[in-house]
Homo-oligomer: A and B are copies of this chain.
């Protein structure tokens, strides 16, 4: 396991130069002559020199590592964002360390702290659902750049990247209206969730714009938006006297639960009740009928998050940036709302 390290000193000795000259040559410092620079670089190359990352970080207080925290790494959409993050970080010369909070607020703040201690240059976080107390997160802000993505919170003064939930939801509802639906239910989250609220307001706005009555009886809020809850709420919606003719679940998994119970009761989709979800998860083309949903360009979100984070990291100014970036999601129309 012992390895003869190739260091600046060694190169300097061979070339009869000082380590500082070698260092500067490798970093293209203008003080060093072209000839020397070339000579040094060639030897370094041939000796397979790699700078000692610790010594470097030690001196420069830079790790070239960014930390990423996500609630649940097994969600398909999350992995697409991670893919974007990894790719963009790689081209920018950053490494990525990932942690999973399991939607546990305590774990989340613990991870934030661990990452800070560890010396990451910046943090990308997708918050847990119930992140109500911001007090644990605020201290981070003036120690290391932080950017929120996907699951964000407007209470935290930092730049945030999401998809245009409101507009996307608006489009989804408008689509339902266009195919003739007049009584559209929504299944959303009860606990305050930034994205849920955004999608809900898109829903409301679309109904208003089209002069459709808003009925609270078909506005369903659940604690955790999941497949099982989708099934339960579909059961509930079927039991009320004036049944909806369309259901918008703000999550694909809930939408799939809805579809499964509608099928159990032999309800025609989309003729009797149309269903639309949100995420374009990989499940949405496996379920039958295939699910109409909003595609979220995860890779794009990930890439953008990294781009803005590195911008902050490498910026010399110390001001807290506070941009809101929205990435456009696209409605994908499939069999659950439209039969050819």
- Residues of chain A touching chain B, judged by Cβ–Cβ distance below 8 Å, are 1, 3, 50, 52-55, 57-58, 61, 63, 65, 73-74, 76, 79-80, 82-83, 86-87, 90, 95-100, 117-119, 142-144, 256, 282-283, 286-288, 318
Contacts and interface: CB of A to CB of B under 8 A. Distances in A.
Given A58-B55, A79-B79, A96-B98, A256 B286 contact: yes
A73 B86 contact: yes
A3 B61 CA distance: 11
A119 B54 contact: yes
Q: Which 4 A-B pairs have the closest CB atoms?
A: A54-B58, A54-B57, A74-B79, A50-B117
Given A1-B144, A57-B57, A82-B98, 9 more contacts: A1-B318, A3-B143, A52-B119, A53-B119, A74-B79, A74-B80, A95-B118, A256-B286, A282-B283
Contact of A73 (B79, B95, B318): B79
Contacts of A83: 73-74, 100
Nearest to A75: B79
Q: In the complex this chain forms, how many copies of it are found?
A: 2
Contacts of A256: 286
A301 to B, nearest CB: 14
Q: Is the interface of A mostly helix, strand, loop or mixed?
A: mixed
A93 to B, nearest CB: 10
B117 A53 contact: yes
Nearest to A51: B117
Nearest to A3: B143
A206 B318 CA distance: 67
Contacts of A99: 86, 90
Contacts of A117: 50, 53
Contacts of A97: 65, 95-98
A217 B205 CA distance: 59
17 contacts: A1-B144, A1-B318, A52-B119, A53-B57, A53-B63, A54-B55, A54-B63, A58-B58, A73-B79, A76-B76, A86-B99, A87-B100, A90-B99, A95-B97, A98-B98, A283-B283, A286-B287
Contacts of A3: 143
A142 B74 contact: no
A284 to B, nearest CB: 9
A283 B286 CA distance: 7
Contacts of A283: 282-283, 286
Contacts of A63: 53-54
Contacts of A100: 83, 86-87
